[in-house]
């Protein structure tokens, strides 16, 4: 996918394919204010909003509606209230075009500048961008509305319907859109649109919206506004329903585990004004796998389940932004967005070449030629990280909000005022209204969290002094093993994989790492290298997908969903119940440096009941209850 080059006609942005303009020639901002802001009564609603407000727009286009709405929101809403603006766009405009549009609206210069700072790469899928210190979150769904709209699971307060003219742009005014609007609306949800087209009116009415014709903007005599009339349950599988929001009198969350999963969760909470009790069994942060000296930030592009690739890719794009921001605020280099050269099975390479950000690797010098056993493609959005340093940077960034507690949690218990965390011998450690368990492969050592099929896999990285073995590759390489470029004279290769519990370095693993490195970089002279290294443990779930979300109530699930295997209609079951305030963020496997930030953002969005940054199917894919549901669906009759 690539950016769309903008056309102009009579001084306004124009799309020749749809034969329509992006905004009115009679005044872009005035049109937004009249049709969408006033049409949804937003100034009054922003002023009385207590926590957060959510808008869903069809057609992001130039971003003018977005920036004008942000301005109105920042002027009208109380401090501490946040805006979630979700928008769909199939033909993402080039940032240079957005910049030239911005010049025409100097009164919105700050808002356009913030938008451009986080403007996404042209990669399909969901992108989340935080603006104005996280008071505004933009979620851009890049792709065709027809592919995306059925998978939206968001509680929307106001809809902006802004496709091109319905006669030219049917997909943006379809019955599927109206059905999804109904699914994601509540009784106070409003909509506004510039059109009064009969099909749109009838479609919205049939979906359950009241309709009002009101004066339109400029040459348009009339426009439509209205409200959703009923309060239905989203058509989600009941066992995957979102948790009920727990009000927090004080915004304090306890997080167990100070690796990258716990720290990114702490960072996302701190950006939303929470205080964090961060508890780790070790004396320093990042003492587990996240303390490695080096690692790849690289998505898994799975051919088996496309949800793996969707999640990983989206996680990568979100992580890149977070790493970049953290790096900007730190003198110590830790994030290197260099791209990663990946060796794929040649039989799969053709399919992968269809992914436009994977480009064939061409080497200038025969001396550093990569092995022909693989097809080499460079993932240009990937990179490499010094995780230990990055974790320090995250901690420093939000240390004002964090109280670090050195202790080992053995039990979590629901009490009247929230959740209590206990140590050995029922010793009180902490209590909070919300708790996130982020202790990787040790989740089974905490009673009260429930059972999750998560296991540990030992891994050893080998550190090699660069000077003694020729010139190591300047770009990270990944095939059956991986290597990262040299930093301060050392580079790393790995990582071994076994199921033992041994924390000590093993010569056999070093030998194995070196043998694999020799296949990756055959030009290196490794025989004389004096190695060092680090051993740590990955946490893998049974299906190799992270476990992220609210913790379900096991006894409720056993009781209510026990007969799932009989294939009764899902709609006949009541919605899921969860352990109020308890969340989990574990099992990042060998990709935690990619998956941690987006997983953290999912958790915080669930806790605050604000729009999640991923599609509903991805939420289900990560849902901690999925293992239990699979088991109940498979359970044999005789176990009744
Ligand atoms: C050798 C190796 C190489 C890797 N390479 C890469 C790579 O290149 N790219 C990539 O993306 N990923 C890589 N990974 C995986 C990545 O390191 C992990 O996915 C990531 O670090 C997981 O972070 P985490 O916070 O979930 O776990 P951890 O970093 O392990 O943190 C868990 C924390 O929980 C604490 N804890 C545990 N139990 C308790 C308790 N009961 N009470 C209090 N605290 C507790 C621990 O002390 C620990 O600090 C690699 C892993 C290994 C082992
Ligand atoms: C009228 S413009 C939106 C103007 C925009 N709200 C603004 O503030 O500039 C309509 C937008 O819908 C987008 N669009 C058209 N068909 C689409 C589709 N099938 N899926 C998603 N977006 C689509 C267009 O690319 C265009 O950006």
Q: Show the tokens assigned to 479.
A: 């095939």
pTM of this structure:
0.96
Q: Do 299 and 283 reside in the same domain of the chain? A: yes
The backbone region for 508, taken as left when phi is positive above 0, alpha when psi lies in -120 to 50, beta otherwise, is alpha
Residue-level pLDDT at 223 = 97
Q: Do 69 and 87 reside in the same domain of the chain? A: yes
Q: Is 436 in the pocket of ligand 1 (CB under 6 A)?
A: no
Supply the CATH number for residue 81's domain.
3.40.50.150
Q: Which domain holds residue 202?
A: 7-227
Q: For residue 2, is it within any domain?
A: no
Nearest atom in ligand 1 to 286's CA: 49
Q: Find the mean pLDDT for residues 283-287.
A: 96
Where among 193, 227, 261 does a domain terminate?
227
Mean pLDDT of the chain: 93
- Atom 15 of ligand 2: nearest residue by CA position: 163
Query: 289 has which bridge partners?
Result: none
Q: Do 215 and 276 reside in the same domain of the chain? A: no
Q: For residue 232, is it within any domain?
A: no
Supply the CATH number for residue 390's domain.
3.50.50.60
- Rounded CA gap, 177 and 179, in Å? 5
- 247 or 188, higher pLDDT: 188
**Interior CA angle at 398 toward 392 and 402, to 5°?**
100
Q: Show the tokens assigned to 499.
A: 């199921």
- Rounded CA gap, 118 and 317, in Å? 11
Q: For residue 616, is it within any domain?
A: yes
Residue-level pLDDT at 529 = 77
Q: Do 11 and 77 reside in the same domain of the chain? A: yes
Distance 467 CA to ligand 2 centre (A): 54
- Rounded CA gap, 114 and 455, in Å? 42
Q: How far is CA 506 from the centre of its chain?
A: 36
Question: How far lies 609's CA from each of 48, 84, 171, 242, 526, in Å?
Answer: 18, 11, 29, 9, 53
pLDDT digits (tens, 9 = 90+) for 120-167: 999 999 999 999 999 999 999 999 999 999 999 999 999 999 999 999
Q: Is 269 in the pocket of ligand 2 (CB under 6 A)?
A: no
**Rounded CA Rg of the chain:** 26
Buried b (16+ CB within 10 A) or exposed e, 601-610: bbbbbbbbbb
Answer for the pair 278, 401: CB distance below 8 angstroms, yes or no: no
Q: Is 195 in the pocket of ligand 2 (CB under 6 A)?
A: no
Q: For residue 238, is it within any domain?
A: no
- Atom 13 of ligand 1: nearest residue by CA position: 590
pLDDT digits (tens, 9 = 90+) for 353-401: 777 788 888 776 666 677 778 888 999 999 999 999 999 999 999 999 9
The CB-side HSE value for 200 (13 A sphere, CA atoms) comes to: 26
Q: Do 38 and 170 reside in the same domain of the chain? A: yes
Q: Do 526 and 559 reside in the same domain of the chain? A: no
Is residue 245 within a helix (H) or strand (E), and if so which, with residue range?
Answer: none
- Rounded CA gap, 563 and 580, in Å? 25
**Interior CA angle at 137 toward 135 and 142, to 5°?**
165
Question: How far lies 582's CA from each of 421, 428, 587, 604, in Å?
Answer: 11, 17, 17, 12
Q: Do 353 and 399 reside in the same domain of the chain? A: no
Q: For residue 240, is it within any domain?
A: no
Q: Is 431 in the pocket of ligand 1 (CB under 6 A)?
A: no
- Rounded CA gap, 524 and 585, in Å? 39
Residue-level pLDDT at 508 = 94
Residue 201: count other Cβ atoms within 10 Å of its Cβ.
17
Residue-level pLDDT at 356 = 76
The CB-side HSE value for 226 (13 A sphere, CA atoms) comes to: 28
Answer for the pair 130, 117: CB distance below 8 angstroms, yes or no: no
Q: Find the mean pLDDT for residues 209-216.
A: 96
Q: Do 425 and 486 reside in the same domain of the chain? A: no
Q: Do 583 and 637 reside in the same domain of the chain? A: yes
Residue-level pLDDT at 612 = 97
Where among 534, 564, 583 does a domain terminate?
534
Answer for the pair 297, 323: CB distance below 8 angstroms, yes or no: yes
Q: Do 202 and 265 reside in the same domain of the chain? A: no
Residue-level pLDDT at 640 = 39
Structural domains of the chain, count: 3
What three-state secondary structure class fits 118?
coil
- Rounded CA gap, 20 and 333, in Å? 47
- Rounded CA gap, 93 and 140, in Å? 12
Q: Do 81 and 117 reside in the same domain of the chain? A: yes
Distance 260 CA to ligand 1 centre (A): 7
- Rounded CA gap, 496 and 337, in Å? 24
Answer for the pair 35, 159: CB distance below 8 angstroms, yes or no: no
Q: Is 459 in the pocket of ligand 1 (CB under 6 A)?
A: yes
Answer for the pair 239, 561: CB distance below 8 angstroms, yes or no: yes
Pairing, β 490-494 against β 482-483? antiparallel
DSSP letter at 431? E
Q: Do 475 and 419 reside in the same domain of the chain? A: no
Distance 269 CA to ligand 1 centre (A): 20
Where among 227, 260, 289 does a domain terminate?
227
Q: For residue 291, is it within any domain?
A: yes
Q: For residue 1, is it within any domain?
A: no
Q: For residue 268, is it within any domain?
A: yes
Q: Own/partner pairs for 559-562, CB < 8 Å, 24+ apart?
A: 561/239, 561/629, 561/632, 562/632, 562/635, 562/640
Question: How far lies 463's CA from each of 392, 488, 519, 604, in Å?
Answer: 21, 12, 17, 36
* pLDDT band with cut points at 50, 70 and 90 for residue 639: very low
Residue 400: count other Cβ atoms within 10 Å of its Cβ.
8
pLDDT digits (tens, 9 = 90+) for 215-247: 999 889 999 999 999 766 667 899 999 999 888
For the chain, report the end-to-end CA distance as a whole number of angstroms. 51
């Amino acid at each position: 996918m690539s950016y769309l080059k903008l056309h102009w006609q009579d001084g306004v942005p124009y799309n020749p394919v749809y034969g329509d303009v992006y905004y009115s020639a009679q005044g872009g901002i005035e049109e937004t204010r009249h049709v969408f802001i006033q049409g949804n009564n937003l100034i009054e609603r922003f002023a009385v909003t207590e926590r957060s407000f959510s808008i869903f727009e069809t057609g992001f286009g130039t971003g003018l509606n977005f920036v004008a709405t942000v301005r109105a929101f920042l002027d009208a809403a109380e401090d501490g209230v946040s805006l979630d603006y979700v928008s769909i766009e199939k033909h993402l405009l080039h940032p240079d075009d957005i910049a030239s549009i911005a010049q025409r609206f100097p009164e919105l210069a700050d808002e356009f500048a913030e938008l451009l700072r986080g403007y996404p790469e042209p990669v399909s899928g969901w992108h989340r961008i935080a603006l104005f210190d996280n008071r505004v979150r933009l979620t851009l769904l890049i792709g065709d509305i027809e592919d995306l709209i059925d998978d939206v699971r968001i509680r929307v307060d106001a809809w902006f319907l802004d496709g091109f003219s319905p006669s030219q742009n049917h997909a943006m005014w379809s019955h599927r859109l109206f059905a999804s609007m109904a699914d994601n609306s509540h009784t106070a949800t409003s909509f506004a649109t510039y059109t009064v087209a009969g099909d749109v009116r009838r479609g919205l009415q049939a979906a359950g919206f009241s309709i009002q014709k009101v004066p339109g903007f400029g040459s348009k005599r009339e426009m439509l506004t209205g409200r959703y009339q009923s309060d239905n349950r989203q058509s989600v599988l009941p066992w995957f329903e979102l948790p009920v929001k727990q009000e927090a009198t004080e915004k304090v969350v306890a997080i167990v585990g100070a690796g990258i999963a716990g720290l990114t969760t702490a960072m996302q909470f701190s950006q939303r004004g929470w205080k964090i009790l961060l508890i780790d069994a070790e004396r320093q942060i990042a003492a587990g796998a996240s303390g490695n000296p080096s690692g790849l930030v690289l998505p898994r592009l799975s051919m088996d389940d496309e949800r793996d690739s969707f999640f990983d890719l989206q996680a990568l794009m979100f992580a890149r932004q977070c790493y970049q921001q953290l790096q900007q605020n730190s003198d110590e280099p830790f994030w290197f967005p260099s791209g990663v050269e990946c060796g794929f099975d040649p039989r799969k390479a053709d399919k992968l070449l269809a992914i436009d950000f994977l480009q064939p690797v061409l080497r200038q010098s025969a001396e550093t030629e990569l092995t022909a056993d693989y097809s080499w493609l460079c993932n240009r959005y990937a990179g490499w990280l010094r995780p230990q340093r990055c974790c320090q940077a995250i901690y420093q960034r939000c240390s004002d909000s964090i109280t670090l507690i050195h202790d080992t949690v053995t039990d979590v218990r629901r009490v009247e005022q929230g959740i209590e965390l206990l140590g050995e011998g029922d010793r009180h450690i902490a209590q909070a209204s919300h708790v996130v368990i982020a202790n990787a492969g040790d989740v089974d050592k905490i009673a009260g969290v429930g059972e999750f099929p998560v296991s540990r896999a030992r891994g050893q990285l080998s550190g090699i002094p660069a000077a003694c073995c020729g010139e190591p590759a300047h770009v990270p390489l990944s095939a059956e093993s991986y290597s990262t470029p040299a930093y301060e004279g050392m580079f790393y290769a790995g990582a071994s994989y076994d199921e033992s519990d041994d924390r000590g370095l093993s010569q056999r693993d070093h030998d194995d790492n070196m043998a694999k490195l020799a296949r990756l970089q055959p030009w290196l002279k490794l025989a004389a290298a004096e190695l060092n290294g680090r051993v740590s443990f990955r946490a893998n779930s049974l299906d190799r997908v992270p476990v992220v979300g609210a913790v379900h109530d096991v006894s409720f699930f056993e009781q209510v969903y026990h007969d799932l295997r009989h294939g009764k209609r899902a709609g006949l079951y009541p919605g899921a119940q969860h352990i109020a305030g308890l969340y989990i963020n574990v099992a990042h496997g060998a990709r935690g440096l990619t998956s941690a930030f987006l997983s953290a953002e999912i958790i915080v969005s669930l806790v605050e009941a604000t729009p999640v940054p991923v599609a509903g199917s991805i939420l289900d894919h990560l849902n901690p209850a999925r293992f239990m549901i699979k088991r109940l669906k498979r359970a044999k009759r005789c176990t009744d």
